């Protein structure tokens, strides 16, 4: 079966690699976003998907707007593809494009639809404290992730998972599910199931204001924000910006998912008075990090990144900056 693959970030790479290694599929071209300038040198950098395709000598097309690019539209039309496969491409496909492949356009979406339609399903499911997510393959239509569903695969979410770790797990899950989906579609073994729009929720693009931390929120809400929008959530400490990369909510509800060391920490702080200000350092724990008061509950800083420096453990930050009880994060 002839495939054209649409994808851009690291999340899409396992799906592309799985297609390239499978004897039933011939990936005739890859469509990905244009190279972007990145890093201190501001050098043009190819997408992870382009890097893989180029190494395998697969033709790569990079229109800035695929719906409006006459050359790419002509190439797609002339390809004779059986399927278009889309995994985190980053552009919306027009109905004209969706109608081109013989057997349809298949999307690998990082949620259990109809929940978390949209651009950032992994981030928002963590932000909202979900305990399970997964992958849905679907037949694409002109809507935003509204097409009929094909297959689903599930994975639990651990309390310490962040968006990067969960995306890596889902990308592998999605690659396997995509292969199964294509094979079953080709043999007419799948009956597409329409989505229930009444159950739909949305996962919009993340904005800069989503990264700002408000210590008056609960410990679990802050923890979910930090891991959901990893690695970009920011606080202010001693009048300087500080990225908060990893935390632990010190709440007995999550004890079973934590190491014995962290379980003991929860036990030690169980009876501590909560009459401190949100953002205030309650205690520093040797070898671990700082414990912070929130609007409800305590949170442990496991990893941070001061402005202009590399990420460091919570304890290295405490030790290197001589943090003291009573100081406040803003």
Q: Which amino acids are annotated as binding site for (6S)-5,6,7,8-tetrahydrofolate, given as ranges?
A: 111-114
Strand partners, 10: none
Strand partners, 84: 4, 105
For residue 72, CA distances in Å to 64, 76, 77 come to 10, 6, 9
Assigned token pair, 142? 């002109």
Write the CB contacts of 311 (distance below 8 Å, at least 6 apart in sequence). Answer: 231, 243, 245, 303, 304, 305
Assigned token pair, 149? 């569903």
Which one, of 199, 209, 79, lies nearest residue 145 by Cα? 199
Residue numbering of the annotated binding site: 111-114
Strand partners, 152: 136
């Amino acid at each position: 079966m002839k495939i054209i693959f649409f994808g851009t970030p690291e999340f899409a790479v396992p799906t592309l690699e799985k297609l390239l290694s499978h004897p039933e599929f011939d990936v005739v071209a890859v469509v990905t976003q244009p190279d972007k300038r990145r890093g201190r040198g501001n050098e043009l950098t190819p997408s992870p998907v382009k890097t893989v395709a180029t190494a395998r000598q697969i033709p790569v097309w990079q229109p800035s707007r695929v719906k409006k690019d006459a050359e790419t539209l002509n190439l797609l039309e002339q390809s004779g593809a059986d399927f278009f496969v889309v995994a985190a491409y980053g552009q919306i496909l027009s109905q004209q494009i969706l109608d081109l492949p013989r057997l349809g356009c298949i999307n690998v979406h990082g949620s259990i639809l109809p929940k978390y339609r949209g651009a950032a399903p992994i981030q928002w499911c963590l932000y909202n404290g979900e305990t399970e997510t997964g992958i849905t393959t679907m037949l694409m239509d002109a809507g935003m992730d509204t097409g009929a569903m094909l297959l689903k695969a599930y994975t639990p979410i651990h309390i310490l998972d962040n968006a990067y770790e969960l995306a890596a797990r889902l990308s592998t899950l999605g690659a396997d599910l995509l292969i199964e989906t294509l094979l079953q579609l080709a043999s007419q073994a799948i009956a597409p199931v329409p989505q229930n729009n009444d159950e739909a929720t949305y996962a919009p693009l993340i904005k800069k204001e989503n990264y700002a931390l408000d210590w008056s929120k609960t410990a679990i809400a802050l923890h979910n924000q930090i891991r959901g929008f990893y690695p970009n959530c920011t606080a202010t400490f001693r009048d300087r910006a500080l990225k908060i990369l990893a935390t632990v909510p010190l709440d007995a509800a999550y004890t079973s998912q934590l190491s014995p060391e962290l379980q003991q920490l929860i036990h030690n702080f169980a009876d501590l008075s909560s009459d401190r200000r949100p953002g205030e350092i309650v205690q520093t724990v040797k070898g671990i990090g700082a414990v912070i008061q929130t609007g409800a509950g305590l949170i442990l800083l496991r990893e941070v990144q001061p402005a202009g420096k590399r990420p460091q453990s919570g304890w290295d930050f405490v030790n290197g900056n001589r943090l003291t009880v009573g100081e406040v994060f803003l």
